[in-house]
Structure 1
Amino acid sequence: MKFITILILSTFAITSIAVVKRHDVPAESYALKTTPDFLVDMPYEGSAVLIDERWLLSAGHVVYNDNYAGQSIFIHGVENTMEKVIFHPNYRKQPDKPFTGDAKPLMDFLYGRTDLVLIKLANPVKHAKPIARYYGNEEQGRQTTTYGKGATGTGHTGEKMYTKMHRPLNFFNNQIDEVKKYHLLFRFDQGKAALPLEGTVGSGDSGGPTVIEEQGQQRLIGIQCFRDYQGDLKDFKGGIYGSVAVLCRVSAHNEWIDKIIAENR
């Protein structure tokens, strides 16, 4: 199993979509021409995942204010409305006082909250297919695919923040290295330890999907939420080799998701 190393919330919480790539693989190898049906851009910044014709699942912290309910959202070019915004009961907003110094208090906060939100759409989505969720408990070692279109870079340079505005669509592969009760973690490896299209998340990735292949179909295994780090926060550099991404574990929250959907038909 790979070792875990461990972003000030706006840095660790990866708010939009990004792909940081291997330095020794052509960047175009990670490029996609078609956006997956289930990948949805959130207003302002961040992404969501279409898990039902009336429901989006995302990271709670990409809902930036209390006015999302009633706002428009575009699902692959078709306008819809966010009818309800329902945070997980264990979600906590960012404290007013920023985290500084040693990363442990920040990591305790991020691991201690459930960074998930469900968004009910006013109209059913008929032109895009939702992704099924993974209901098993055998995530350890599974190869994953993550989709993104934000800041880019390589494992040598780390994420380049100025690229975030261009939003090219990319993907990368990785594997689940550690399974916690409510989170999944993967490390950005290099050399022989890396997958051919190994990559990691970068600034702008929160709320986006990480999926696995199950019986010939993609299934949602995690929602991108933050980066893991040990050390002084001022020394953090995102997207370098050895960095660790943390996903909200979908299998651990399916009961809550199913309950909310059933109660809000």
Structure 2
Amino acid sequence: MRAAALLLLLVSSGAGAVVVRDDVPDLRYRMAASEFPALADMPGEGHGVLIAPQWVVTAAHAVSWQHAVDTVDVGGTPRAVRRIVVHPGYKQPPQAMIDAALKSGDWDAFFAFAATSDDIALIELSAPVRDIAPVRIYRGSALGKLVRIMGRGATGTGSTGHSLRGPNRTELRQGYNRISVSETRWIGYAFDAPPKALPLEASTGSGDSGGPILVAVGKQWQVAGVAAWKRGQVEGTELRPGRYGEISYGVRLGNYARWMEETMATGGDSGKSAGR
């Protein structure tokens, strides 16, 4: 539990109030929930995305640390959870690894471990959502694509970053970035400083885990990934998340399309049940 909770602090989690440029007014990043009603809010912090009438996709660590996930909010309405299916390849970091990193300031082993985990989970709702359209999974290559991110987690600016001590639930914000990393499990982007940055350049913050990474296809937004973890900057022994130059990674959903389809069609194995 302690390791999972700390992991939620260290990663994006993202999915939360995004970290923004220091030279752009915060209000320009604010958004109304109605602008993307398929966004799901986990209890306390973390997000997901409605991808089928009865299914929400999220990062596994966004739900694995919680004692119970009995409801999630989709479109501002609480939806009862039937169960949660965590990918069998998801791995929580050993506590000894986290303790060693906190003591030494060397996070390389932690980041390498995070990169090998299948950090994805599906949430089956007790009843289909009829009032909100699900978002389609983006199946193409996201490399070089402009992406839209959003969330209610920790916020700050690229010059100062955000605190690991929260709060990890703030106002809903959105921003943009461009995918520069595309690997088997992951897609990622760098948080660039002005003047190289996009007009509304942003990165995810703690509490944003599971939030969408969206690609525009025609007039629709499709979800290419969900916020998972960040390779933040380290000063001395202290991790400084949210600063310019960090790389944010999201689960590349195209890599897990078959697993998601089979899970939603057959139910799959329940990695974690709601209420346990």
Same fold by TM (over 0.5)? yes
The one-character-per-residue Cα deviations of 1:30-53 (angstroms, maximum 9, x if unpaired) are 111234111111123211111111
Q: Gaps spanning 5+ residues in structure 1: where?
A: 1-7
Counterpart of 1:3 in structure 2 is none
Q: How does 1:168-179 map to 2 (within 5 A)?
A: 168-179=171-182
Structure 2 Cα separation of the partners of residues 107 and 51 of structure 1: 28
Q: Does 1:108 align with 2:106?
A: no
The Cα shift of 1:170 comes to 0.7
Counterpart of 2:199 in structure 1 is 196
Counterpart of 1:249 in structure 2 is 252
Counterpart of 1:12 in structure 2 is 10
Q: Does 1:210 align with 2:213?
A: yes
The one-character-per-residue Cα deviations of 1:100-135 (angstroms, maximum 9, x if unpaired) are 132121012100110000011110001122111101
Letter paired with 1:119: I
Counterpart of 2:50 in structure 1 is 50
TM-score calculated relative to the size of structure 2: 0.85
Counterpart of 1:123 in structure 2 is 127
Structure 2 Cα separation of the partners of residues 195 and 83 of structure 1: 41
Structure 1 Cα separation of the partners of residues 222 and 120 of structure 2: 18
The Cα shift of 1:89 comes to 1.3
- Cα distance, 1:55–1:239 mapped onto 2, change above 3 Å: same
TM-score calculated relative to the size of structure 1: 0.89
Structure 2 Cα separation of the partners of residues 161 and 104 of structure 1: 18
Query: Kindly, what percent of the aligned residue pairs are identical?
Result: 29
Counterpart of 1:29 in structure 2 is 28
Counterpart of 2:74 in structure 1 is 75
The Cα shift of 1:25 comes to 1.1
Counterpart of 1:226 in structure 2 is 229
The Cα shift of 1:256 comes to 0.8
Structure 1 Cα separation of the partners of residues 47 and 236 of structure 2: 25
Q: Gaps spanning 5+ residues in structure 2: where?
A: 1-5, 269-276
The one-character-per-residue Cα deviations of 1:154-173 (angstroms, maximum 9, x if unpaired) are 11111146773662111000
Counterpart of 2:89 in structure 1 is 90
Q: Which stretch has the larger CA shift, 18-27 or 170-179?
A: 18-27
- Cα distance, 1:232–1:159 mapped onto 2, change above 3 Å: closer
Counterpart of 1:152 in structure 2 is 155
Q: Is the 8 A contact 2:21 2:201 kept in 1?
A: yes
Q: Which SS does the other structure have where 1:189 is aligned?
A: coil
Q: Which stretch has the larger CA shift, 227-236 or 100-109?
A: 227-236
Q: Which SS does the other structure have where 2:149 is aligned?
A: strand
The Cα shift of 1:241 comes to 0.8
Structure 1 Cα separation of the partners of residues 93 and 44 of structure 2: 18
- Cα distance, 1:81–1:32 mapped onto 2, change above 3 Å: same
Q: Does 1:140 align with 2:143?
A: yes
The one-character-per-residue Cα deviations of 1:224-244 (angstroms, maximum 9, x if unpaired) are 000024767823211111111
